[in-house]
Chain A
Amino acid sequence: NAGVTQTPKFQVLKTGQSMTLQCAQDMNHEYMSWYRQDPGMGLRLIHYSVGAGITDQGEVPNGYNVSRSTTEDFPLRLLSAAPSQTSVYFCASSRGGDLADTQYFGPGTRLTVL
């Protein structure tokens, strides 16, 4: 199993550009999430999904869109990049439904918006 994979690993955008961060998991997990990590702030939840076709907003959803057409994939779209979206983005998946479920994180995408 590859676990949770994310592409690209690094990305530089100009303000106003759009892009999609890819996330895939091969563990047949129902739950998937996107977090951003900024210095001193831990990880903050952007969007999450409890199954194919179901998504919901997290703590910091503005400027991001998600969709979940398959169990395996959970892409994160930046509609019009802003410098405030410079961050490291992590995708995570978990089996779902259990208390204290283990979340598995991908290696992250480091995004810089100029």
Chain B
Amino acid sequence: TQLLEQSPQFLSIQEGENLTVYCNSSSVFSSLQWYRQEPGEGPVLLVTVVTGGEVKKLKRLTFQFGDARKDSSLHITAAQPGDTGLYLCAGEGFLQAAGNKLTFGGGTRVLVKP
């Protein structure tokens, strides 16, 4: 069973501060996705990283996939209250027959206070 551990579980910061969320595993993934989930809604995909060492930027969000494809991080610069939400990482295994099965981390709840 592939496991993904996210840390921290909860993060509370002031508007304008930076934050980093980590996603770690002992398993290798073919790709890793980051989602954000608002209360009462389903997760929404933010980004997918595929290549080891890959860095992707989405405005103030920076995503990195570890060289060994076992870990990833999400860094938010100058956080805003609109960044508040539950951030989930999800890894995809190598088996094509797996039907795009994703293994999710436990989530990091981020609260950005104005």
> Which residues of A approach B to under 8 Å, CB–CB?
4, 31, 33, 35, 40-45, 48-50, 56, 58-59, 90, 92, 94, 96, 99-108
Within the complex, what minimum Cβ distance (angstroms) separates B53 from chain A? 16
CA distance A35 to B76 in the complex (A): 27
CA distance A42 to B41 in the complex (A): 14
Q: Which of B34-58 contact A (CB under 8 A)?
A: 40-45, 48, 50
Q: Which of B1-51 contact A (CB under 8 A)?
A: 1, 4, 6, 9, 30-31, 33, 40-45, 48, 50
* Besides the known contacts A42-B6, A50-B99, A108-B41, 19 further A-B residue pairs in the complex with CB atoms under 8 A apart: A31-B99, A33-B100, A40-B107, A42-B90, A42-B105, A42-B106, A42-B107, A59-B1, A96-B100, A99-B31, A99-B92, A100-B31, A100-B48, A103-B45, A103-B102, A104-B45, A105-B44, A107-B42, A108-B42
Q: Which residues of A contact B88 (CB under 8 A)?
A: 42-43
Closest residue to A6 on the B side, CB-wise? B42
Question: Is A92's CB under 8 angstroms from B42's CB?
Answer: yes
Q: Which residues of B contact A106 (CB under 8 A)?
A: 42
Task: Tell me if B's interface is mostly helix, strand, loop or mixed.
Answer: loop
Q: Which residues of B contact A33 (CB under 8 A)?
A: 99-101
Closest residue to B49 on the A side, CB-wise? A100
Question: Is B42's CB under 8 angstroms from A90's CB?
Answer: yes
Q: Which residues of B contact A35 (CB under 8 A)?
A: 104
Question: Is A100's CB under 8 angstroms from B105's CB?
Answer: no
CA distance A96 to B48 in the complex (A): 15
